[in-house]
Amino acid sequence: MTNKVSAPGQTPTPITWTIAARQTPPAVTGSHVGVLALQGDFLEHAIVLRQLGVSAPEVRKAEALEALDGLIIPGGESTTMAILMDTWGLRDAICRRVRQGMAVWGSCAGMILIASSLREDRPKPLGLMNIRVARNAFGRQVDSFEADLQVAALGERPFHAVFIRAPLILEVGEGVEVLARLEDGTPVAARQGKLLATAFHPELTDDFRFHRYFVDIAKGAR
């Protein structure tokens, strides 16, 4: 997998990837999974979904949620995303669609936003998943790191996870299954029914297993 960047003097183009033929996964069809595209790395998630054969519309308005089986809330700045969700009337719309059966995956900042409560006093989370989360729990940008995780739901091969100013799960409540932990036992991925949370960024790797896993959750939720 390689990043494409513009040469000096050229108009910048969005980051995208060239996937070698042997890396291209089997297509997933019949799924409607969108990506919340208010702020953050929504483009990277959309690119992975499209590599899987999923249409991956970018969601900026509440009405775009109606046709979705699943929604990814990406990494970024959680306070900014919360403000924009409220500005565009997306908070109540997302919660309503979850009650109707839509699956949601919160990745990094997205995990903060779908939590039931936070250690900090802001932003106000959506209260969807029965977890308590701490923001920037591992430190500042320079404290970002990578780790190989054992994720039984994805198979035997470890998942190489990228943590960038990552949150962590402080508490898990009833109905929540921890999917992955760091070596010290810290939970960094969890599932509650049709809700998925990861403290790291699967969209920044060429391992598409978490995206396939979520697409399957969304298809089941439908």
Q: Where are the domains of the chain?
A: 29-221
Query: One of 32, 44, 45, 108 is an active-site residue; which one?
Result: 108
pLDDT of residue 157: 97
pLDDT of residue 2: 36
Please write the tens of the pLDDT for every residue from 172-192: 999 999 999 999 999 999 999
Q: Are strands 115-118 and 129-134 parallel, antiparallel or unpaired?
A: parallel
Residue 108 falls in the annotated catalytic set: yes
What integer best gives the mean pLDDT of the chain? Answer: 86
| The CATH homologous superfamily of the domain defined by 29-221 | Class I glutamine amidotransferase (GATase) domain (3.40.50.880)
pLDDT of residue 220: 82
- Evaluate if residue 115 carries a pLDDT over 80: yes
pLDDT of residue 17: 43
Residue 95 falls in the annotated catalytic set: no
- Evaluate if residue 14 carries a pLDDT over 60: no
Residue 160 falls in the annotated catalytic set: no
- Evaluate if residue 6 carries a pLDDT over 50: no
Q: What is the mean pLDDT of residues 129-151?
A: 80
* pTM, 2 dp: 0.85
| Cβ contacts of 199 within 8 Å, gap of 6 or more | 108, 111, 163, 166, 167, 168, 169, 188, 189
Q: How many of the other CB atoms lie within 10 Å of CB of 14?
A: 9
Query: One of 32, 45, 201, 211 is an active-site residue; which one?
Result: 201
